[in-house]
Amino acid sequence: MDATETTAALADRLDTARTTRTAVPSLTDTHRLDVDGAYAVQRALVARRRARGERLTGVKLGFTSEAKMAQMGVSEVIVGRLTDAMRVTDDGDLALGGLIHPKVEPEIAYRLGRDVDPGDPTDFLLAAVDAVAPALEVIDSRYRDFRFTYEDVIADNTSAAAYVLGPWSPPRDLRDLKVVLTSGIQETTGSTSAILGDPARALRALRDICHRRVIPLRAGDVVLAGAATAAVPLTAGTTRAEVEGLGAVTVRGV
Ligand code: 0L1
Ligand code: MG
């Protein structure tokens, strides 16, 4: 098998894992995969979704907390793609039967008011933001027991499964805002400073990585900046995230 065939075969494996809700072993158990190769698999995986009619709606960052980076032994954030099929309406239902072992995390979402050129160091992503919102991201690794390497999770589109956006409001300083995630009787408290110290730093990291990975940033795109607490299992019933001064966002697992 040459590199292109391997990329296609690994993308098929992850695509089938998602569509049949059957977790698979780590790709790196059987294949040598570097970071470039992992992004190539991600591209092929997302291309399969687009070929089925899904539309790209933005990007998401992962590994934006120091704890998670240390756990994975890495120092660089990862980027994945969002599509319209992943979007769940605020206060809407998300069918748990369509997922493998979903977890949910509270995030900050940015919306871009214009295109950004990731290759232009004077084109600041933050200056292109026209609105911010509280958000929930549902992650659902296609790997058994969420057991994966850094390269595996990149290939798997950074575990992206679904996202929910709360009310948009004008851009503002998002440093050090209290975040409360409530799921059933479980309450988890965090802060936006868990996102690289300041979610605005996540935007700087995003521009760099989009430049290197040739990912366009377009007007209207949503950017999920990263998690403000550890992810918790998404269970039946209501999960809500409240971000100080920004409002709340809710999803119902059904
Ligand atoms: O969005 C995230 O931070 C999660 C990235 C993937 C890691 C995971 O699945 O736990
Ligand atoms: Mg996330």
Is the CB–ligand 1 distance for residue 65 below 6 Å?
A: no
Domains, the chain, ordered by start: 3-253 (3.90.850.10)
**4: which DSSP letter?**
H
- The ligand minimizing its distance to the Cα of 137 is 2
Is the CB–ligand 1 distance for residue 228 below 6 Å?
A: no
Which residues are CB-neighbours of 30 under 8 A, at least 6 positions away? Answer: none
pLDDT at 74 over 80: no
Q: Which residues pair with 93 in a beta bridge?
A: 252
Average pLDDT, integer, range 100-120:
96
- 125 C-alpha to ligand 1 centroid (Å): 22
**pLDDT at residue 186, as a whole number:** 93
Q: Are 130 and 205 in contact (CB under 8 A)?
A: no
- 159 C-alpha to ligand 1 centroid (Å): 6
CA-nearest residue for atom 3, ligand 1, is 62
Residue 66: which of 161, 202, 189 has the closest Cα? Answer: 202
Q: Are 64 and 202 in contact (CB under 8 A)?
A: yes
pLDDT at 65 over 90: no
Q: Which of 139, 152, 163 to mutate to test the pocket of ligand 1 (most atoms within 8 A of CB)?
A: 139
Is the CB–ligand 1 distance for residue 149 below 6 Å?
A: no
* SS3 category, 58: strand
- 1 C-alpha to ligand 2 centroid (Å): 34
What is the longest distance spanned by two Cα atoms in the chain? Answer: 54
- The ligand minimizing its distance to the Cα of 148 is 1
| Nearest atom, ligand 1, residue 62 CA | 3
**pLDDT at residue 1, as a whole number:** 65
Task: Report the side by side order of strands in the sheet with 92-94.
Answer: 92-94, 247-253, 237-243, 178-183, 186-191
CA-nearest residue for atom 2, ligand 1, is 62
Which residues are CB-neighbours of 224 under 8 A, at least 6 positions away? Answer: 58, 59, 60, 61, 82, 107, 108, 109, 135, 137, 163
Question: What's this model's pTM, rounded to 2 decimal places?
Answer: 0.95
Helix intervals (H) in the chain: 3-20, 35-51, 66-72, 125-128, 150-155, 199-213
Task: Give per-residue pLDDT as tens, 121-154.
Answer: 888 899 999 999 999 999 999 999 999 999 999 9
| Nearest atom, ligand 1, residue 63 CA | 3
pLDDT above 70 coverage of the chain, percent: 100
